[in-house]
Amino acid sequence: MKRLAAALLLLPGAAYAEDRDYCPARPGLDTPPCTIAPGHVSVEVGLADWTRADTAESRTDTILIGDILVRVGLTDSIEAEVGLTSFGHSRTRDKSSGGVESADRAGDALLGLKANLHHPDGSGFSVAVEPFVTIPVGRAPIGAGDWGAGVMVPLSVDLGRKLSLQFTPEADAAVNQDGVGRHFAVSGTVGLGVGISDTVNGTIEFQELRDEDPSGRTTQSLASVSVAWMRRGDWQLDIGTAVGLNRDAPDAELYAGVSHRF
């Protein structure tokens, strides 16, 4: 009888996890507070990502292919995360001399854990804590060259009428530009999610990032627009773009990706 009672107590939680909508971390600048239900795995892949950064002295184009994030549901409110940038190509042209430097590298790995504190399905008001570390698997200019760490506190609020407000503050021990040691960096991203239809969602976001790198302090301002199409509840396709709003930020970014829940 005790075993039967315990099993009945577990049934609502199991049904809740099974009925939970799929919530990929892609696309956009914000991070969703929702977690993957236990017993499920989400594989999220950046198929292609191009970024252009122009200065008075040079132009740098960076292409990433196979930027992978795997999220594993451990409990009803906790997930583990493993990420890797499979391949990156960087090309920098000196505007005065015309010289070109290029490199093909793998990027760094990421290990993280997200613990949702309220509404793990992301409904209503939802908030989570997400610490992570980066491991220097790749080399510069795609890899950072040293380990880094950080923590995010993503949250979202359902505003009704297919609108949601998202906010992600983040603090990092970011790797120095020379690839040795770390410094403090902090950012905040705010976004408005819009349900265009039952399967298509759009997001408009703004991000401010303050970086205290010893080589020079910078403040980056970015704006982003992204669209995601959910297919059959377990597949998502996405596209997005971001533009720099000041001189410290990259000028433009375009990307596309796919996510699947197993």
Q: Is residue 111 part of a domain?
A: yes
Asked if residues 61 and 51 have their Cβ atoms less than 8 Å apart, the reply is: yes
Residue 200 pLDDT class (50, 70, 90 cuts):
very high
Residues in the chain: 262
pLDDT for residue 139: 87
Alpha carbons within 13 angstroms on the beta-carbon side of residue 68 total 10
Average pLDDT of the segment spanning 166-182: 96
Among 226, 234, 231, which residue's Cα sits nearest to residue 260? 234
pLDDT for residue 138: 87
The mean pLDDT value of the chain amounts to: 92
Q: Is residue 147 part of a domain?
A: yes
pLDDT tens per residue across span 225-257 = 999 999 999 999 999 999 999 999 999 999 999
Q: Is residue 11 part of a domain?
A: no
Q: Which domain, by its residues, includes 31?
A: 22-261
Among 154, 159, 152, 161, which residue's Cα sits nearest to residue 124? 159
pLDDT for residue 28: 94
Q: Is residue 5 part of a domain?
A: no
pLDDT for residue 6: 40
pTM of model > 0.85: yes
pLDDT tens per residue across span 11-54 = 344 444 457 899 999 999 999 999 999 999 999 999 999 999 99
SS3 170: strand
Instruction: Express as a percent the part of the chain with pLDDT over 90.
Output: 88
12-16, 91-95, 160-164, 169-173, range with the lowest pLDDT: 12-16
pLDDT for residue 18: 53
Average pLDDT of the segment spanning 210-218: 95
Q: Is residue 34 part of a domain?
A: yes
User: For the chain, where are the E strands, in sequence order?
Assistant: 41-54, 58-73, 78-94, 100-105, 109-118, 125-135, 148-152, 155-160, 163-175, 182-195, 200-211, 218-231, 235-244, 252-261
Transcribe 42-85 into DSSP letters.
EEEEEEEEEEEEE-SSEEEEEEEEEEEEEEEE-SSSEEEEEEEE
Q: Is residue 6 part of a domain?
A: no
**C-alpha span between 200 and 72 (Å, rounded):** 24
Structure tokens at 7: 């099993």
- If one counts the domains in the chain, the total is 1
pLDDT tens per residue across span 94-119 = 988 889 999 999 999 999 999 999 99
pLDDT for residue 1: 39
CA distances from 258 to 73, 88, 175 (A): 19, 18, 29
CATH of the domain at 168: 2.40.160.40
pLDDT for residue 98: 87
Residue 3 pLDDT class (50, 70, 90 cuts):
very low
Q: Is residue 15 part of a domain?
A: no
Average pLDDT of the segment spanning 200-226: 97
pLDDT for residue 93: 95
Among 169, 184, 173, which residue's Cα sits nearest to residue 130? 169
Residue 8 pLDDT class (50, 70, 90 cuts):
very low
Amino acid at the residue 87: F
Q: Is residue 3 part of a domain?
A: no
pLDDT for residue 71: 98
pLDDT for residue 56: 87
